[in-house]
Each structure stands twice: as C-alpha cells, then as structure tokens.
Amino acid sequence: MHETLVLLAVLVLTTGAVLALAAIINGWIAPGPGRAKVLRPPVWGYGTLVSMAGIGTYLFVGPLQGPDMGNFPVAMSGMAVFAAGLYVQRRALKPGRARKTSS
C-alpha cells in the first residue's frame, strides 16, 4: 500500500509541475471553471510550483516517511511553503499593478 501512495503522490506532483510550467512558459491554464478567474497565468504557475515543492516536502519527509517524529519541523516547513504557494496563486487572481509609462 505504501508503494501505491508514493506512486500516486509522485503522479500528482509531476502533473502539477507540468501544468505550472505550461502556465509559466506559454500562459496556458488547463480548462475548467477557475480558468477565467486567473488574470496572470505566469504568476499562477510560479505559485503552483512553490505549492508542489512544499507539499512534496511535507509528504515525503512527513507522512510517507513513517512514524519518525525527528523530521516534524522539516515537514511543517513544507506545509508553510505550500501555504506561501497558495498565497501566490491567490495573487494571480487579481490584476497586476499599473505601470507608469514615459510619454
């Protein structure tokens, strides 16, 4: 069962990273109900990459590692990075700042 959970976690993290890179490089976001809300796809992509790194750290150092509590601070820092990524994703839903133009 452990191998199945690890494989599933790797699949989800890889899919998230690929979708994030598509948003950063091409500005493409997968179709769905939230697609229209994202005003800045590259920012959303960066937030997704940060989130995937955080949740990956949490999963592979925390619950999927075993009952060892020695890695608890590292796992919780992974959750903090995940929350920071979600914050960046949330910022992608708002318009960017207006830039001053020289005219």
4, pLDDT greater than 70: yes
Does 36 map to a domain? yes
Indicate the number of domains in the chain.
Answer: 1
Residue with the two structure tokens 């091409």: 26
Give the pair of three-digit tokens for residue 29.
């976001």
Range of the domain at 18: 2-91
Give the pair of three-digit tokens for residue 19.
């979708």
Q: What angle do CA 93, 8, 87 make, to 5 degrees?
A: 20
- Measured in whole angstroms, the distance separating CA 97 from the mean position of its chain's CA atoms is 23
The predicted-structure confidence for 15-64, as pLDDT tens digits, reads as follows 999 999 999 999 999 998 888 899 999 999 999 999 999 999 999 888 87
Does 67 map to a domain? yes
pTM for this prediction? 0.86
Q: Would you say 22 and 31 are in contact if contact means Cβ atoms under 8 Å apart?
A: no
Give the pair of three-digit tokens for residue 74.
């590292």
Per cent of the chain over pLDDT 90 is: 62
